[in-house]
Copies of this chain bind each other. A is one copy, B any other.
Amino acid sequence: LDAGSEEQACSRQSQLTKPAGSLGRLEEIAVQFAGITGNALPVVQQRAVVVMAADHGVTAEGVSAYPKDVTPQMVLNFLAGGAAINVLARQANAVVTVVDIGVAADLQHPQLLSRKVRYGTANMAQEPAMSQQEALQAIKVGVDIVESLAARGVDLIATGEMGIGNTTAASALTACLLNVPAEQVTGRGTGIDDQQLAHKVRIIERAIAHNHPDIDRPLDVLAKIGGLEIAGLVGVILAAAARRIPVVLDGFISSAAGLVAYALCPAVKGYLLAGHVSVERGHRLILEKLGLEPLLNLQLRLGEGTGAVLAMHIIEGALRTHLEMSTFADAGVSDKIE
C-alpha cells in the first residue's frame, strides 16, 4: 500500500466542501483505493464479478435445503442472464465471468469458462474434500482469471460463487481457521430448519475430526474441508492483491476464501473490502478477524456476488465524490470557525 498516495488523498478530503469526516466510510474507501492503486485520485474503469461454481460431496449427508442439481441449473441461469447476480451486475456495469471450476455435471456454453478441476469435491465427512494438488490447481484457475481480466482493463473485482452445500464447507473452514466451535459459525444456508441445522453442525464437526486439518498449513485446511469454488476465489484474491486490484468480498463463502487467502498471506487484507455482512452467522466473525467493516447490511444470504456488486455503487460514490467535489478554495466556501 502506497502511504504517500494515502496521505495525498487524506489531504484532498480535508479540502473538499464538507465538514471533515462527514462522508464517513466514503472517505475511508477513497483513501484505501489511493493506497492500493498508488493514485491519489483513484478511478475505476472496468468492474467484474467472478462467479465460481462447484459441487460438494458433503451434500450426500443432507446438509442443504436444495438438491445438488441446482448447481448446474443455476450456472445455466447465470449464463442466460436470469439470476440475481446478472441483474445486479448489469445495474453496476460489471462483467460477469462464470467459471465451472468443479460442477458435478458436464456443462457447455460459449460464455462459460470451463476450468473444471474435478466433478465436485469428495464427501468431507468421510475423506478429504480434495487433494492439495487439486486445491492448488483451483487456486491457479483463480490466478489465471485475474490475469485475463486485468489484461482486459478490469480494475475492481467482486467475488461470487454458486455451489449447493458450500455454506457447509465455509463453516468448516471458518471453525477451523478461527478455532471456534462449529455451531458458532454454522447457519441455515439456503434455508434449513432447526433439526437440519443441528445435523449440519454434527457433519462439520465430523469432517474436522475425521480429516484433522493442520491449522498452520492453510492449504491443508482448504484441501481437506474446503471447496473448489472457494479455492478458486482464494486464487482470485491473491492474484488481485498482487496486481494492486481491490477486491470486494461478497458474503460468507467469499469471505471464507478471504480468510484462507489471509492465512496464506496476511498482506492481502489491505486490498479487501467487505461488500456486505450476510445473515450467515459465521460471516461477521470472519470480517472481525480480517478487520473489515461491511459496507452494506441488507439481510442478504444469496451469495453469487450479489452483495459485493451492490456495494460497488457505494465504492463508486466514494471515488466520484473524492474526484469531482469542489474544494473550499475553489468554491469560495468558508471553512470551519477555529
CA A332 – CA B65 in complex, angstroms? Answer: 17
B66 touching A316 by the CB < 8 A rule? no
CB of A110 closer than 8 Å to a CB of B: no
A334 touching B24 by the CB < 8 A rule? no
CB of A266 closer than 8 Å to a CB of B: no
Q: Known contacts being A22-B302, A330-B82, is A337 close to B66, with CB within 8 Å?
A: yes
CA A124 – CA B265 in complex, angstroms? Answer: 59
CB of A43 closer than 8 Å to a CB of B: no
CB of A83 closer than 8 Å to a CB of B: yes
A42-81 interface mask toward B, CB cutoff 8 Å, 1 = contact, 0 = none? 0000000000000000000000011101100110110010
B331 touching A73 by the CB < 8 A rule? yes
CB of A296 closer than 8 Å to a CB of B: yes
B334 touching A69 by the CB < 8 A rule? yes
- Residue among B17, B77, B334 making CB contact with A83, cutoff 8 Å: B17
CB of A263 closer than 8 Å to a CB of B: no
Q: Known contacts being A191-B21, A331-B76, is A82 close to B326, with CB within 8 Å?
A: yes
Residue numbers in B under 8 Å from A306 (CB-CB): 23
CA A191 – CA B325 in complex, angstroms? Answer: 20
Residue positions of A touching B, CB distance < 8 A: 16-26, 65-67, 69-70, 73-74, 76-77, 80, 82-84, 86-88, 90-91, 190-191, 279, 295-302, 306, 310, 313-314, 316-317, 320-321, 324-326, 330-337
